[in-house]
Structure 1
């Protein structure tokens, strides 16, 4: 097995979220907390080719993404700068780079079978609606049936499992069922002055993991990623993701099919191929 660096992405802004789509796209949300600016970029996940870069949607900072469905991004605004509640739906087409429709009153819930479920807040409760996800056209006023909505939402959560995606889990020696993983990571922790948790993904005989190593000064850490052939006990790839950090950096990598995605220094995305 071999891991090869394929491409990088960086606008020298803090990467806030990485949102893969089911159509082979990766949407990157970047924020500048001091300037209070947010930008969105989209690349082809396999090549890194840019579809759009540093997109600005109306509001400079108080806007976010609810979901990416097929080739449509659903944005939301925040009710107030100091309140996390969402309000409004803005449907943006990735391919045409145009806003398809918007509604400032609805609040997004989920999409099921090409139908977008949302609601409006009322004094006495919520009123639910079903929309055409492409046009925003009202398909049905569902009313106040919260039980029906909750049941459907749980069904969707059970069914949602992005095909080909692998995300990290935390290593717990006392509950780890794979003895090779347990032995290797236990020894790694003892040898490297590791602080905090170890996040890992096991794919066949390849163990991918990241950890924070305490530096000689004692008040800083390095965030390190390694890929290991666990059968041979051989490190086949290593990358320093963050240097001089004082706080733990979560969720620094994931895998899609044969591509490895690494987040470096909070501002750079490094994508590598995993070849047999």
Structure 2
């Protein structure tokens, strides 16, 4: 398998969002208490912009990518943070388009951004039409994701996958697996218990059981879900919390 994407960031990759061939990562540096965002073009594998801090604050979090726009919520800095504003950015350049103070994202459809705020515990809605930045084929392209299935060890399918892994790798998978069959490949994210922690591996084989990838991606105290995703014909995953990796399928 050919590695297409491999970028390491200063902080932890906390969240991600996808739209077209774009992926935006939310990076949190717990030492400096700063959050930044980075955008990757999945079809080309290059970073469009990195370590963008639209505001020097910990209280920002991704909403999503819609058309050419990236939406980010700004939160209050109290014990129970609530959205208190929306940042609108151009996804391709990272340029700030507008800041909507005291509004909350509701939906985006047909170039119309619908936002709301609460008055006397009742939502008040407002529509804003966002003009297209440019006619770019990449921004309107559709990137399909394939459904990754999570099987816990109580699932009827888990013993079959357990046997497959045992015969192939001579290991005892525990707790759960994430599983996907795509074209001629089988992708399994599995766990083994070692040295008082769970080791999470990502395995890719072909139909003849040839091992194409078997990467240790995390050592954790618990079990995760959605440990990988396939977008733009690329297998994507986070390794060791700070590394974003992609392989061409």
| TM-score range relative to shorter protein | 0.7 to 0.9
User: Quick check: 1:105 aligned with 2:81?
Assistant: no
For 1:142, the equivalent position in structure 2 comes to none
Query: How far does residue 233 in structure 1 lie from its aligned partner after superposition?
Result: 3.1
How far the C-alpha of 1:33 sits from its partner, in A, is: 2.7
* Structure 1 residues 174 and 28: alpha-carbon distance in aligned structure 2, compared to 1, 3 A threshold: closer
Name the counterpart of 1:233.
209
Give the Å deviation of 1:237: 2.0
Superimposed CA distance per residue, residues 147-185 of structure 1 (whole angstroms, 9 cap, x where no aligned partner) = xxxxxxxxxxxxxxx742124211257554xxxx97344
Equivalent runs, 1:19-168 vs 2, <5 Å: 19-22=17-20, 24-134=21-131, 163-168=143-148
Residue number in structure 2 paired with 1:211: 190
Given the superposition, is the C-alpha separation of residues 116 and 220 from structure 1 closer, same or farther in structure 2, using an over 3 Å criterion? same
Counterparts of 1:124 and 1:258, CA distance in 2: 45
Contact persistence 1:241–1:263 (CA under 8 A):
yes
**Aligned-partner Cα distance in 2 for 1:182–1:194:** 10
Tell me the CA shift for residue 5 of structure 1.
1.4
Work out the CA distance in 2 between the residues paired with 1:92 and 1:13.
Answer: 21
Q: Which moved more, 1:29-38 or 1:265-274?
A: 29-38
Note if 1:188 corresponds to 2:165: yes
**What CA distance in whole angstroms lies between the structure 2 residues aligned with 1:197 and 1:236?**
21
In the other structure, the counterpart of 1:158 is none
SS in 1 for 2:146: strand
Q: Which runs of 5 or more structure 1 residues have no equivalent in the other structure?
A: 136-161
Which deviations, in whole Å up to 9, do the C-alpha atoms of 1:216-239 show, x marking residues without a partner? x3x122111101224x23322211
Larger Rg: 1
1:39 Cα offset (Å) = 0.7
Cα deviation for residue 209 of structure 1 reads: 0.8
Report the TM-score, using the length of structure 2 for normalisation. Answer: 0.85
Name the structure 2 match of 1:8. 6
Please state whether the residue corresponding to 1:195 is helix, strand or coil: coil
TM-score between the two structures when normalised by the length of structure 1: 0.77
List alignment gaps of at least 5 residues for structure 2. 133-141
Is 1:224 the counterpart of 2:201? The answer is: yes
Residue 197, structure 1, aligned to residue 176, structure 2: yes
d(CA) in 2 for partners of 1:121, 1:186: 54
Change (3 A) 1:257 1:51: closer
Q: Which of 234, 246, 249 is matched with 1:271 structurally? A: 246
- Aligned residue-pair number: 237
Alpha-carbon contact 1:9-1:48 (below 8 Å) kept: no
Q: 1:189 to 1:18 in 2, by over 3 A?
A: farther
